[in-house]
Amino acid sequence: MVGPIRVLVIDDSALVRQILSEMLGAVSDIEVVGTAADPYVARERIKSLNPDVLTLDVEMPRMDGLTFLRNLMRLRPMPVVMVSSLTERGAEVTLEALELGAIDFVTKPKVDISHTLQDYADELAAKIRAAARVKVRALAQPLKVSPKLSADEVLPPASARTRFRTTDRILAIGASTGGTEAIKTVLLGLPPDCPGVVIAQHIPPGFSTAFAERMDRQTGLKVKEAEDGDQVLPGHVFIAPGDRHLLLVRDGARYVCRLNDGPPVNRHRPSVDVLFRSVARAAGTNACAALLTGMGADGAQGLKELHEIGVHTLAQDESSSVVWGMPGEAVRLGAASRVLPLEAIARGLLLGAAGPTPTGVEGTT
């Protein structure tokens, strides 16, 4: 992309429009070209201003955000970052917006907590950049990321390979931007008697509950937000709660979920690196893991640790990823046994969990 990313801010709150405009206006590679208080005004300003990315309020008068988004994606598809309220209704609408094609979402800025505004501004700018890259991927520049903690801060690496007293298999999945829809595609491809599944998706508190409930309704698996002590059973899926790390541990011959409040890793809690490392320690080669679409690099090192102990590891390919950051970094590190399109990930997981490295799976090594 030549020049700054042109953003149109759509929100019925004048205060939120001002805050978002000021935040983005302070970023050198982003330009707020206009604002709109409702979708009808937004429709005219999209025509006249030709923005690269929209920020769109979930709930607005005259026309709700979902109706506007549905029309937009049908008539003039473009990158959209949703701005959502921290409510049960806000979470449900946001997940539906992601189904309709929104790239990502942020929660409403907390205007009464000034020390969090810079972190919020950084997150918003990063998601705007990622959304812009979806539209002009070939011209994208890699994101600059701040220094990150490693999974060592939460879970020390295993000192040696462990002998396991069970043949029960585990499927582990990590994702970020675009991940809610990618995860749904994978889960829809898994049979009701598949090995137990553990998932780390970058998502805020509150939204993870709604996401898990949505997946439980839409797939043939038993899906829930993980609770400390949950036993991981075949046909069951456990999604990390927002703002807590999910670890897989052994309790005798059983696999059990453990929740952890350690520091964010790679700026994320839950972290995919933490989940994957715990899977390496608890399940070893009884596991198979996949790293799906997402911004940044979280999960790439964890996937490499799994690959190095003989676990069959998968990375989503670039063409089917919303953002090829996390899986792309895994490929760069040599962490993926195979690189597969999203539609082949479920089959690849099942074959990978079945035993030796499978052959004949669509994709590249």
pLDDT digits 0-9 by tens, 232-243:
999 999 999 999
Q: How confident is the model at residue 1, as a pLDDT? A: 63
Determine whether 29 is an active site residue: no
152 in active site: no
Half-sphere exposure of 77 (CA within 13 A, CB side): 8
Collapse the DSSP code of 300 into the 3-class scheme (helix H, G, I; strand E, B; otherwise coil) and give the result. helix
Q: Which single residue is written with the structure tokens 């790390």?
A: 245
Question: Which pTM value belongs to this model?
Answer: 0.88
Catalytic one of 202, 245, 268, 312: 202
Q: Which amino acid is at 196?
A: G
142 pLDDT band (50/70/90 cuts)? Answer: very low
Rounded to the nearest integer, the mean pLDDT of the chain is 89
More confident residue, 71 or 151: 71
Q: What is the pLDDT of residue 356?
A: 56
- Are 336 and 315 spatial neighbours (Cβ–Cβ below 8 Å)? yes
Rounded to whole angstroms, the Cα distance separating 56 from 299 reads 29
In this prediction, residue 214 has a pLDDT band, given cuts at 50, 70 and 90, of: very high
361 has pLDDT over 60: no
The tokens describing 118, both together, are: 């810079």
Q: Give the pLDDT confidence of 320-344 residue by residue, as tens digits.
A: 999 999 999 999 999 999 999 999 9
CA 350/CA 353 separation, integer angstroms: 5
Question: How much is the pLDDT for 62?
Answer: 80
pLDDT for 158? 64
The whole-number average pLDDT for the span 204-219 is 95
pLDDT of 79 reads 96
Give 2-15 pLDDT, tens digit per residue.
789 999 999 999 99
In 240-317, which ranges are E strands?
245-251, 254-260, 287-291, 312-316
Instruction: Note if 236 is an active site residue.
Output: no
Burial, 70: exposed, middle or buried (Cβ in 10 Å; 0-12, 13-18, 19+)?
A: middle
The arithmetic mean of pLDDT across residues 289-309, rounded, is: 97
Closest listed residue to residue 331, CA positions, set 304, 296, 302, 358 = 304
Q: Single out the catalytic residue among 176, 208, 278, 320.
A: 176
Catalytic-labelled residue, pool 52, 104, 273, 298:
298
Confidence check: pLDDT of 144 > 60: no
